[in-house]
Homo-oligomer: A and B are copies of this chain.
Amino acid sequence: MISVTRRETFSASHRLYNPELSEAENLELFDKCANPNGHGHNYVLEVTVAGEPNSNSGYVIDMKKLKEVIRREIISRVDHKHLNYDVDFLKDVIPTAENMVKAFWDILKDKVGDARLQSIRLRETENNSVEYKG
């Protein structure tokens, strides 16, 4: 088994806010991330799939196809968007990096051909990142 990782980037804004909590609780919980007008990030998304290299191609997966899948299914729907308002598959969750990788996983898990989705990593800043392995 060999793992293959594709890195893509997108720029988006979000606001961390739980409507079931009070303003004071939101501020306590999310601090400046609860700013009503939101803020944003250059997200770095790393999608890892695993499998045996195909004997014809030497590829676990054609990186061009993995790139196209990630761009069509994820990047085109989140890039230059406000994650709270513009993204259908994030409508019901607080758009923390944790909730985002879980949503990305559900979208991608059956779309990587013969390979197996192994990990999704999302870097929100140069200091903060999350990883989900299903």
Contacts and interface: CB of A to CB of B under 8 A. Distances in A.
A18 B97 CA distance: 32
A56 B42 contact: no
A98 B63 CA distance: 11
Number of copies: 6
Interface string A75-118: 00001111011100000011111110110000000000000000
30 contacts: A2-B98, A2-B101, A3-B131, A4-B97, A4-B130, A5-B128, A5-B129, A6-B128, A7-B126, A7-B128, A8-B127, A11-B39, A11-B40, A11-B125, A13-B37, A13-B39, A14-B40, A29-B57, A31-B64, A35-B82, A37-B85, A39-B79, A39-B80, A40-B42, A41-B42, A42-B42, A42-B126, A48-B131, A53-B96, A58-B98
A33 interface: yes
Given A2-B102, A41-B41, A60 B16 contact: no
Taking chain A's interface residues, is the majority helix, strand, or loop, or is none over half, making it mixed? mixed
